[in-house]
Amino acid sequence: MSMIEHLGLAALRKIDPERAHGLALRALRLGLMPLPGPVTSPRLATRLAGLDLPNPVGLAAGFDKNAEALAPLSRAGFGFIEVGAATPRPQPGNPKPRLFRLTEDAAAINRFGFNNEGMEAIATRLAQRPKDAVIGLNLGANKDSADRASDFARVLERTRPHLDFATVNVSSPNTEKLRDLQGTDALRALLSGVMAISDTCPVFLKIAPDLGEAELDGIAAIAEETGVSAIVATNTTLDRTGLTSRHAQEAGGLSGAPLFERATRILAQLSLRTDIPLIGVGGISSAEDAYAKIRAGASAVQLYTAMVYHGLSLGAEVARGLDRLLERNGFSNVSEAVGTGREDWL
């Protein structure tokens, strides 16, 4: 982390978390953050769902909800970038405050509720995207929609020409009854509708960490049946076990370090149920964490919350550190390490 980034983080931690996030995005757009450029090597080069990634360390959805900082993010060292979530119509999300730092737990709780400027504004920005980056969009549904399942297809249809991949997000806990769409019949209908208009755009499915084995069985089967290209495991959790922060009981989804073990266990269990590529998310704050996700069964990883505490440079640092770990352990490419430590999590 550079001195500029260190001082900036210290200042941002003194103000409201959501306002701090907005200021960080503005600084990024204005070119005030140092950016490392591409991070890659023969060991890091990754093929995922037909996409060629310079490295397997991605930026998770939520950091750039409205696709406002695509150009600078493409130079931040990530192997791929996911923006959104986007809904058909703009929506303000839930009342503020709705984002809480849990500093003692290296975590965060949010209950944003898919606040975004809507698919038209986001599609306009995506049309101006850098062409040398891998960029995807997290698809969401309007809270007051009469047919939430169709919302996902509508957003994809509008933005598809500008995307390298799209992620169906039925796992956010912050829109009432959204997680009900993970049920067998509802998920099959939703994914079938999205896949019908996906054309050549790979479709990923993002799942919750609060799932039992029977639910994982059903999700894996439906993902294979409908032709999903990858499964993102996992979104935030409703569990609050072991937290010490004064914000621990705030409503919303918990992300960050406390999610790591739960999400990685789900990842490993899912890898036994399907050959669909998996993307490991939840609690990654170091190269060692990313390596553990890969050894548990992930072909790629994503991070976000840890940047609140370690800065935007974390993505490049994790990628470089992962490269060193792969070299140290005798892997010529990251794909060789996928699943080699799965048993540790079962």
The CATH number of the domain where 288 resides is what?
Answer: 3.20.20.70
pLDDT band at 107 (very low <50, low <70, confident <90, very high): very high
Q: What torsion do the CA atoms of 161, 165, 170, 176 make, to the nearest 10 degrees?
A: -50
Provide φ and ψ at 177, rounded to 5°.
65, 10
In contact, 84 and 304? CB cutoff 8 Å: no
pLDDT for 184 equals 82
Shortest CA distance to 167 belongs to which of 17, 300, 26? 300
How many C-beta neighbours within 10 Å does residue 295 have?
A: 22
Give CA–CA dist 59/283, Å, rounded. 13
pLDDT for 148 equals 87
Strand partners, 230: 204
pLDDT band at 226 (very low <50, low <70, confident <90, very high): very high
pLDDT for 61 equals 97
pLDDT band at 32 (very low <50, low <70, confident <90, very high): confident
Count of the separate structural domains present in the chain: 1
pLDDT at 314 over 90: yes
Least confident among 8-12, 122-126, 261-265, 306-310:
8-12
In contact, 264 and 345? CB cutoff 8 Å: yes
Write out pLDDT tens, residues 14-25.
999 999 999 999
E-state strands within 55-98: 57-59, 80-86
Average pLDDT for the chain: 95
Q: Is 2 a catalytic residue?
A: no
pLDDT at 4 over 80: no
- Residue 132 has, within 13 A of its CA and on its CB side, a CA count of 8
Write out pLDDT tens, residues 178-223.
777 777 888 999 999 999 999 999 999 999 999 999 999 999 999 9
pLDDT for 304 equals 97
pLDDT for 324 equals 98
What does R_g of the chain's alpha carbons equal in angstroms? 18
Give CA–CA dist 226/240, Å, rounded. 34
Q: pTM to 2 decimals? A: 0.96
Give CA–CA dist 231/78, Å, rounded. 19
How many C-beta neighbours within 10 Å does residue 190 have?
A: 25
Q: Taking the mean position of all CA atoms in its chain, how far away is CA 11? A: 26
pLDDT band at 110 (very low <50, low <70, confident <90, very high): very high
Write out pLDDT tens, residues 60-95.
999 999 999 999 999 999 999 999 999 999 999 999
Q: How many helices (H) and strands (E) does the chain have?
A: 11, 13
Look up the domain containing 171 and give its range.
3-345
pLDDT at 174 over 80: no
pLDDT band at 154 (very low <50, low <70, confident <90, very high): very high
pLDDT at 149 over 90: no
The encoded tokens of residue 56 equal 């397997």
pLDDT at 140 over 80: yes
pLDDT band at 328 (very low <50, low <70, confident <90, very high): very high
pLDDT band at 297 (very low <50, low <70, confident <90, very high): very high
pLDDT at 306 over 80: yes
Q: Taking the mean position of all CA atoms in its chain, how far away is CA 285? A: 14
Tell me what the mean pLDDT of segment 243-262 comes to: 98
Give CA–CA dist 263/208, Å, rounded. 8
Query: Which listed residue (74, 171, 172, 313) is catalytic?
Result: 172
E-state strands within the chain: 46-48, 51-53, 57-59, 80-86, 99-102, 107-110, 135-139, 165-169, 203-207, 230-233, 253-256, 278-281, 300-303
pLDDT for 135 equals 98
pLDDT band at 9 (very low <50, low <70, confident <90, very high): confident
Q: Where is mean pLDDT largest: 11-15, 33-37, 112-116? A: 112-116
Give CA–CA dist 267/206, Å, rounded. 11
